[in-house]
Amino acid sequence: MNMHMNLKGKVALVTGASRGLGRAIALALGEAGADVAVTDLLIEGETHDRQALEEYSALAGHFSKAGEIKTRATAEEILAFGSKSCALKMDVTDLEEIKGVVQTVEVELGPVDILVNNAAVMDNLGKFDRQKPERWERDLKVNLTGAFHCTNVVWGSMVSRQWGRIINISSVAGLMGAWLQPSYGTTKAGIVGLTKSLAIEAGRHGITVNAVCPGFIATEAVKLYDAGMIERIEKKTALKRLGKPEEVAQVVAFLASEAASYVTGAVIPVTGGIDLLMI
């Protein structure tokens, strides 16, 4: 292992890590040597009110019903790498719950050195004149305020130790806008603004703050798209394929490492070139 990419001795907390990008990121950090707190709104084996969950988030309801929740399973895989890990339920809209989870992580693993704000919802689809205010507010709370809450809770500890890595998962939608997803595009653009603003203040404390903007990645959610839509996406992408979750995760691992010690305030597209003007 490249010593500059070795995260041994560091503690990471990843939000929204039961599947998709969050799971891949947690695994990549664990494989690089970090001890990882795998957090998510859903944990396998726990009872959920499926109707309420589906009303809150159609995707969360779908994956809960399908049994595609791997919060504990991800922690188990990280343990197999030789790193420490724990799986914890955390709602990023609940500040008090976040504080409790971070306290648990500090006891079980140690102070959080690396925070990956990945948790998000992306199922609010529809034309602007049909957008519901309560859905707009939900998206703001999860996608943007959630990142603010989590960062706020670990900030003081990072400042006191004069070291930290905050990595925010935005989206190509935050750079280009999102068709029929005004709240998603807005919140992901907000993540970019939050990243740059925090980076200015964090630098004097030895903390870097960066954003990663994935394009269309072959996560469980994207695989629900119909075949025709996936084909159109691939045709508009310079590399002519969907990305792999691991390709995003490796960029996050780099940003968490000493190899990226002079990178802050960066907004890194991992898009396969879908954000380029292709003729």
The 3-class secondary structure across 74-132, one letter per residue, is HHHHHHHCCCCEEEEECCCCCHHHHHHHHHHHHHHCCCCCEEEECCCCCCCCCCHHHCC
- Determine the Cα–Cα distance for residues 244 and 252; give it in Å rounded to an integer: 13
| CA pseudo-torsion sign 79, 82, 86, 87 | negative
Q: Give the per-residue pLDDT at 128.
A: 85
Tokens linked to 47: 């009872």
**Domain 3-270: assigned CATH number:** 3.40.50.720
Q: Give the per-residue pLDDT at 94.
A: 97
Cβ contacts of residue 251 below 8 Å, gap of 6+? 212, 268, 270
- Determine the Cα–Cα distance for residues 30 and 14; give it in Å rounded to an integer: 11
Q: Give the per-residue pLDDT at 180.
A: 79
pTM for the model stands at: 0.93
User: First-to-last CA distance in the chain?
Assistant: 41
- Tens of pLDDT along 188-241? 999 999 999 999 999 999 999 999 999 999 888 888 888 998 999 999 999 999
Identify the CA nearest to 41 among candidates 124, 85, 98, 79: 98
Q: Give the per-residue pLDDT at 219.
A: 85
Q: Give the per-residue pLDDT at 86.
A: 98
Q: How far does CA 157 lie from the centroid of its chain?
A: 21
Neighbour tally for 47: CB within 10 Å:
5
Task: Catalogue the active-site residues.
Answer: 184
Cβ contacts of residue 279 below 8 Å, gap of 6+? none
Q: Give the per-residue pLDDT at 127.
A: 86
For residue 211, list its beta bridge partners. Answer: 168, 267
pLDDT tens for the chain, 279 residues long, are: 455 789 999 999 999 999 999 999 999 999 999 999 999 999 997 776 666 776 677 676 666 666 679 999 999 999 999 999 999 999 999 999 999 999 999 999 999 999 999 999 978 777 888 888 899 999 999 999 999 999 999 999 999 999 999 999 999 999 998 887 889 999 999 999 999 999 999 999 999 999 999 999 988 888 888 899 899 999 999 999 999 999 999 999 999 999 999 999 999 999 999 998 655
Q: Give the per-residue pLDDT at 63.
A: 64
Q: Where are the domains of the chain?
A: 3-270
What amino acid is encoded at 226 in this protein? D
Residue identified by tokens 């964090």 is 202
- Determine the Cα–Cα distance for residues 128 and 132; give it in Å rounded to an integer: 9
